[in-house]
């Protein structure tokens, strides 16, 4: 059974780069076809799509974040990564990685538990 | 970008009652590619419905989805105590994928 686990610093200073990793266990990140995504949720608010990486390697980003986001994969470690540059307090949120697969019509059928990131000096 | 508006913001019901949640899109969602998720405090969302009306694996049949074009509905036929949570809709018919703001189903 595929499981996802996010990890990374819980505190990031303003203007710095937020870097998170999602480790995939129980299956290969490059089998599929799958979309591997990052989604975030500020406290008490709704979910925000950050971007996705297809098993072919192609990426798609939310236009509101596109200039600051890079999503990539390390196949040797079976990990998905997120880099968000020039962060501000508005980027404080719980960050989730999630998988969308054709067996679920490309809804997000597997989620990590989420990791809380606070942007503060 | 497709904006999804969920209503009501909060739905106050009792166990055993029927819950009807709405998700309205600012433009037609291609191929009815809409999903519904349930989220409980401190937990990640759980996929309930995909493609507007298909139940995800292991989801009880009291959850059903319907809709087409710009109007989509999630119905819980008889609320169980564990169904009180926040529900999110999402469209993946066009990029960027987007979520609604959520509906809280409260006791």
Q: A35 forms bridges with which residues in the sheet?
A: A54, A100
Cis peptide before A67 (omega within 30 of 0): no
pLDDT at B20: 98
Cα–Cα–Cα angle for B76, B79, B83, nearest 5°? 90
Cis peptide before A37 (omega within 30 of 0): no
The predicted-structure confidence for B7-39, as pLDDT tens digits, reads as follows: 999 999 999 999 999 999 999 999 999 999 999
CA distance between the termini of chain B = 34
A88 pLDDT band (50/70/90 cuts)?
very high
Distance CA B78, CA B15 (A): 7
B70-89 residues touching A, CB cutoff 8 A: 88
Residue A106 has pLDDT above 90, yes or no: no
Nearest to B98 among A49, A52, A61 (CB): A49
Using only C-alpha atoms, chain B has a radius of gyration, in whole angstroms, of 13
Contact B47 A63 (CB under 8 A): no
Contact B56 A46 (CB under 8 A): no
The predicted-structure confidence for B41-53, as pLDDT tens digits, reads as follows: 999 999 999 999 9
Residue A8 has pLDDT above 90, yes or no: yes
Chain B: nearest CA to A22, how far in angstroms?
A: 14
């Amino acid at each position: 059974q595929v499981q996802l686990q996010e990890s990374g610093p819980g505190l990031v200073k303003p203007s710095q780069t937020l870097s998170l990793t999602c480790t995939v266990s129980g299956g290969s990140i490059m089998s599929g076809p799958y979309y591997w995504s990052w989604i975030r949720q500020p406290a008490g608010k709704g979910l925000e799509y950050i971007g996705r990486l297809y098993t072919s390697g192609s990426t798609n980003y939310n236009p509101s974040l596109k200039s600051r986001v890079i999503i990539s994969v390390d196949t040797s470690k079976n990990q998905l990564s997120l880099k968000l540059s020039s962060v501000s307090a508005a980027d404080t949120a719980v960050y989730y990685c999630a998988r969308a697969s054709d067996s679920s019509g490309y809804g997000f059928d597997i989620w990590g538990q989420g990791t809380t990131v606070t942007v503060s000096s | 970008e497709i904006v999804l508006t969920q209503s009501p913001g909060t739905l106050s019901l009792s166990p055993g009652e029927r819950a009807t949640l709405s998700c309205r899109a600012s433009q037609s969602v291609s191929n009815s590619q809409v999903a519904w998720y349930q989220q409980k405090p401190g937990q990640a969302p759980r996929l309930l419905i995909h493609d507007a009306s298909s139940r995800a694996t292991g989801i009880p049949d009291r959850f059903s989805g319907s809709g087409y074009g710009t109007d989509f509905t999630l119905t819980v036929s008889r609320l169980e105590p564990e169904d009180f949570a926040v529900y999110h809709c999402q469209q993946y018919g066009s990029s960027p994928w987007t979520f609604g703001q959520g509906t809280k189903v409260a006791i």
